[in-house]
Amino acid sequence: LDSINAKSLHTKSERTCSIDRGKHKAVCKIAILGFGTVGSAVARILAEHAPDHLRLIHICNRDVNRKKVDWIPPQVQWTERFNDVLSSDADVIVELIGGLQPAEDWIRCALLAGKSVVTANKQVIADCGPELLNLAKQRNCRLAFGAAVAGGVPVISAIQDGLAGDEISKICGILNGTCNYILSEMGDSGATFTTALVEAQKRGYAEADPREDIDGLDARAKLAILARIGLHAKVCTTRIFCRAISAIEPVDFEFAKQLGCTIRQVSTAELNKGVLFAAVQPALVALSSPFGLARGSQNIVVCTGKFGGETTFQGLGAGGNPTAVAVVSDILAMAANTNVSSNGVSPSHDISPRVSNDFVTSHYVRFSTSHTMRAVSALVKALETSKINVGSVLANRSRSSKFSAVTVQACTPSALQKALKQGRPSDIFQFYRIIPILN
């Protein structure tokens, strides 16, 4: 921040605005930070498909010569220095570099300079969205982040504006395109985890460090944003329980199929009696359900409201073009000076609930044993003492497999884990894995 020459900043009121208020729409000058998958897709739409009043003037990226392409109009300036963008007469700065730093500082500087910001940065918005929105308000500019959750699915504005009349108590969804791609490929075509991940990276779905996707950190930031705008619950991202999808193996899909299910990374946030039940984890979902039918990079968000019941939003949640649509839509709303829904956030009314991942749900339990029948009867007995019932025993259809699995009727994961720990006859069970079954 220190490196920024404050004297070179123009506030919105000081700037000579490029607004042409004649019969044409006001010109909106745009600078893009980050020319990666999403940045270049946004630039392509702005350069080739956007209305004339949206004018791309700057592209800022590291090692910019490596990035230059011939389809960007010659009048667009390429730079490696954020200060060039900050001191330019851009009206809107589009932050698409991702990650916490320097993205957060750059957004803050842009707002301080009175420039509106559009960002797809879920980490920054999850961590300091309300504070940045306040800053935007103070500086009489705007901050929009429609692209931060569910890519091209306009779920932020849908919840903030379209469902504003409801009282939402639960938001459940598939919020990561990379994980959905991997799990649907593993389930449908038997692809290995690694092959599916490499393909998701090639298609531009994955984060620079794909562990963000796989370990659930990306979805958890998105869930924190949705919890704030939909449930008015402030939640620190690190408080949300995450379980990685890398623990899922082909045999889990085989067992799931016997139950008419498949596996997806599911993110859930539910407010109940002042507690926020929140988690991002692999879960068994019915093959015929919207979650089970979601393939590739699709995202789904289901909101449950007191008055409106369930409302579902679905579409492509990752990749350059779908995310660029959300970014350009936010720019258009800003240029038209219409309400971008992010400005409707009222942090002062938000609650700070206790966060728990102890949902009551049925579970799938896989374990490895060489004595299936003995193991199952020992398991039933162990769980019975804790008043937990086994639902069904799944057939091991491959003779070579050492795995067996059962379903367990509704209970909390903590009760189940405790019962398994207490009653686990180690000579029979070598290992077990628990996955919730969501209806």
Active site amino acids: 222
Helix/strand/coil percent split, the chain, to 5: 40, 25, 35
**In angstroms, what is the minimal distance from the CB of 177 to ligand HSE?**
4
Given 50, 229, 318, 345, the residue binding ligand HSE (CB under 6 A) = 318
Given 91, 95, 127, 218, the residue binding ligand HSE (CB under 6 A) = 218
Q: Is there binding between residue 330 and ligand HSE (CB under 6 A)? A: no
Helix (H) or strand (E) holding 302: strand 298-305
Q: Which is nearer to ligand HSE, 316 or 405 (CB)?
A: 316
Tell the residue number behind the tokens 């500087």, with chain if given: 109
Q: What is the largest CA-CA distance in the chain?
A: 83
The per-residue DSSP string of 29-86 comes to EEEEE--SHHHHHHHHHHHHTS-TTEEEEEEE-TTGGGT--TTS-TTSEEES-HHHHH
Closest by Cα among 332, 341, 335 to 129: 341
Report d(CA 86, CA 303) in Å as an integer: 39
Residues in 298-317 that interact with ligand HSE by CB under 6 A:
317
Q: Which is nearer to ligand HSE, 221 or 231 (CB)?
A: 221
Q: Which is nearer to ligand HSE, 72 or 206 (CB)?
A: 206
**In angstroms, what is the minimal distance from the CB of 180 to ligand HSE?**
8
What would the x/- binding string for ligand HSE be over residues 25 to 64, using CB under 6 A?
Answer: ----------------------------------------
Q: How far is CA 304 from CA 173, 222, 294, 349, 361, in A?
A: 11, 17, 19, 20, 17
Q: The tokens of 331 are what?
A: 């720019």
Q: The tokens of 202 are what?
A: 């090639």
Q: Which is nearer to ligand HSE, 221 or 378 (CB)?
A: 221
**In angstroms, what is the minimal distance from the CB of 50 to ligand HSE?**
22
Asked if 36 contacts 96 with a C-beta cutoff of 8 angstroms, the reply is: yes
Report d(CA 31, CA 110) in Å as an integer: 11
**In angstroms, what is the minimal distance from the CB of 143 to ligand HSE?**
18
The amino acid at 322: P
Q: Is there binding between residue 176 and ligand HSE (CB under 6 A)? A: yes
Q: Is there binding between residue 95 and ligand HSE (CB under 6 A)? A: no
| Span from 153-161, 176-184, 264-272, 273-281 in contact with ligand HSE (CB under 6 A) | 176-184
Q: What's the angle, vertex CA 341, arms to CA 337 and CA 346, rounded to 5?
A: 120
Report d(CA 146, CA 325) in Å as an integer: 10
- Residue 147's region, left for phi above 0, alpha for psi from -120 to 50, else beta, is alpha
Q: Which is nearer to ligand HSE, 177 or 353 (CB)?
A: 177
Residues in 126-155 that interact with ligand HSE by CB under 6 A:
151
**In angstroms, what is the minimal distance from the CB of 46 to ligand HSE?**
20
How many residues lie near ligand HSE (CB under 6 A)? 11
| Span from 23-31, 92-100, 206-214, 331-339 in contact with ligand HSE (CB under 6 A) | 206-214
Q: Which is nearer to ligand HSE, 205 or 367 (CB)?
A: 205
DSSP state, residue 185:
H
Closest by Cα among 254, 253, 239, 248 to 282: 248
| Span from 16-24, 175-183, 234-242, 255-263 in contact with ligand HSE (CB under 6 A) | 175-183
**In angstroms, what is the minimal distance from the CB of 151 to ligand HSE?**
5
Helix orientation angle between 103-112 and 122-138, rounded to the nearest 10 degrees:
10
Residues in 335-374 that interact with ligand HSE by CB under 6 A:
none
**In angstroms, what is the minimal distance from the CB of 176 to ligand HSE?**
4
Nearest residue to ligand HSE by CB is 178
Binding site for ligand HSE (CB under 6 A): 151, 176-178, 205-207, 213, 218, 317-318
